[in-house]
Amino acid sequence: MGQILEIKCQACSANQNIFEGGGWEFSITKLYHCPSCYWIRDKTFKDDNNPFNANHKKNAPKIEDLLRVPVECEKCKTNKIKSIMNEIQESDLETLKCHQCKQKKLKTTIIGHWD
């Protein structure tokens, strides 16, 4: 089971919800941070290659391979900048800069659970 986190900036009005940890079986959710624009996102990888998975697909890529693919920032992409996001931990969130005002004033609150 994972948590739904609200990341709120104490200095401006920026806020976003992300899904952290756990997730349903045969999937992994990771957090990413853009070093260029400070955007934070979650990304879920599904292990459809696992034979124990009910949605098992024979030709699905292996989860190890999926996790190795660099995650590109979609915000930077719209400005035609190629930026590879860094994997972060939940405990890193409050040490990051706000993508809007660039201040280190982020506060995370657990607002729910998901599974």
Q: Which is nearer to Zn ion, 62 or 107 (CB)?
A: 107
User: Per CB under 5 A, does 106 bind Zn ion?
Assistant: no
CA dihedral 46, 49, 53, 58 (to 10 degrees): 130
Residue 36 phi/psi, 5-degree rounding, is -90, -50
Q: Assign 11 to helix, strand or coil.
A: coil
Using the rule CB under 5 A, is 34 a contact of Zn ion?
Answer: yes
Question: Residue 9 Cβ, how far from Zn ion at the closest point, in Å?
Answer: 3
Q: Which stretch binds Zn ion (CB under 5 A): 3-11, 22-30, 47-55, 58-66?
A: 3-11
Contact between 7 and Zn ion by CB under 5 A: the answer reads no
Phi-psi region of 80 (alpha: psi -120 to 50; beta: other; left: phi over 0): left
Residue 76 binding Zn ion, by CB under 5 A: yes
How far from 22 is each of 19, 29, 30, 83, CA to CA, in Å? 9, 7, 9, 26
Tokens of 4: 């739904």
33 contacts Zn ion (rule: CB under 5 A)? no
User: Residue count at the site for Zn ion (CB under 5 A)?
Assistant: 15
Binding site residues, Zn ion, CB under 5 A: 9, 11-12, 14, 34, 36-37, 39, 73, 75-76, 83, 98, 100-101
